Amino acid sequence: MTDTATPETVFYLDCDTGIDDALALAYLLGTAGDRLVGIGATSGNVAAAVGAENTLRLLGLAGATVPVALGEHHPRRGSFDGGAPHVHGADGVGGVPLPESDSRLVAESAVELLADLVERFGERLHIIAIAPLTTISRALDVIPDLASRVDGITLMGGAVTVPGNITPHAEANIANDAQAAAHVLAAEWRSATVVPLDVTMRHRFEPRDTAELARDAGALATAVSAMFEAYFDFYEPGLGVRAAPLHDPLAAAIALGDVVIEQSLRGALAVDTSDSPERGRTTRADTGPSTTTVLEVGGDAAERILRGARTPRLR
């Protein structure tokens, strides 16, 4: 698990449910089970409301009941830009039809849900953030001591020693709300782990993995497998092979300790919040709270994620 997580640790997921978020959710349901105690949907790959609906429908496929709340739609500065339909499809799930869920969003906002979970679980609660950090930043406004009251945070975002994926300098989750990212990384978390493109781009699913994911599997794994066809379509021209990186699932697996960190950087990270072409760039800083920025993990991360997402409890 992460440095401080234990088998009693419970998890709050902040997501922008596109294709890799869907795999991360399947993995978390299969691996953490009822220790996934809440989910918030923030605008990123898709609008927050679309991501929330996708999440409810995916949970329905798994027969899982987890509170889902609507998070922030617009970034801290500016407006939501429409997401990434060229990557995840207009619906965020690659055009794969998902049956409507019988469940509905909770009445409270994602910030309110997180606040309730902090009161309930305190230091047992670990935040997994795989979306732009707008909702987590707003939560820090409402709960000023959030960072010291929870177990920690694991976030997917940034590009420290490699190019970005939305600009030459910046990764999408950070660039989509640079102000929020700077705010979150400046907080004094008990434990903060950053999972950037430096490591996520090296761990991928290929068609053989998605075929295995769907083999004798339940409705959720089958749907996620189908979604990856759109993800492969997007990544194949750039990678030169039919494959797709495991951005969000890798962050989830690191948070649970299912994948072990082998190489990392310790120290502060800064986010460029200017209006320059380098907006959203993440760089090492001389001052500020220390984070663990993951550069490599041990073992076959794709196999671990595949195994977790195919667990029998989801069938």
DSSP annotation string for 251-311: HHHHHHTSS-EEEEEEEEEEE--SSSTTTT-EEEESSS--EEEEEEESS-HHHHHHHHHT-
pLDDT value of position 217: 81
pLDDT value of position 315: 37
- pLDDT above 80 (res 183): yes
Q: 230-239, 276-285, 305-314: which has the minimum mean pLDDT?
A: 305-314
pLDDT tens digits, 48-97: 999 999 999 999 999 999 999 999 999 999 999 999 999 999 999 999 99
pLDDT tens digits, 145-164: 999 999 999 999 999 999 99
Contact 159, 171 (CB under 8 A): yes
Alpha-carbon distances of 293 from 5, 51, 128, 140, 290, rounded to whole Å: 17, 27, 15, 21, 9
DSSP assignment letter at 139: H
- Give residue 92's region: left, alpha or beta (phi > 0; psi -120 to 50): left
Going 42 to 45 to 47 to 53, the CA torsion angle's sign is: negative
* Token pair 């923030």: residue: 42
- pLDDT above 50 (res 40): yes
* pLDDT range class, residue 7, cuts 50, 70, 90: low
Contact 118, 144 (CB under 8 A): no
Q: Which CATH number fits domain 10-310: 3.40.50.2300, 3.90.245.10, 3.40.1710.10, 3.30.300.250?
A: 3.90.245.10
pLDDT tens digits, 220-260: 999 999 999 999 999 999 999 999 999 999 999 999 999 99
- pLDDT above 80 (res 5): no
- pLDDT above 70 (res 6): no
- pLDDT above 60 (res 3): no
- pLDDT above 80 (res 286): yes
pTM: 0.96
Sheet hosting strand 125-129, strand order edge to edge: 68-70, 36-41, 10-15, 125-129, 152-156, 192-195, 291-297, 261-271, 282-285
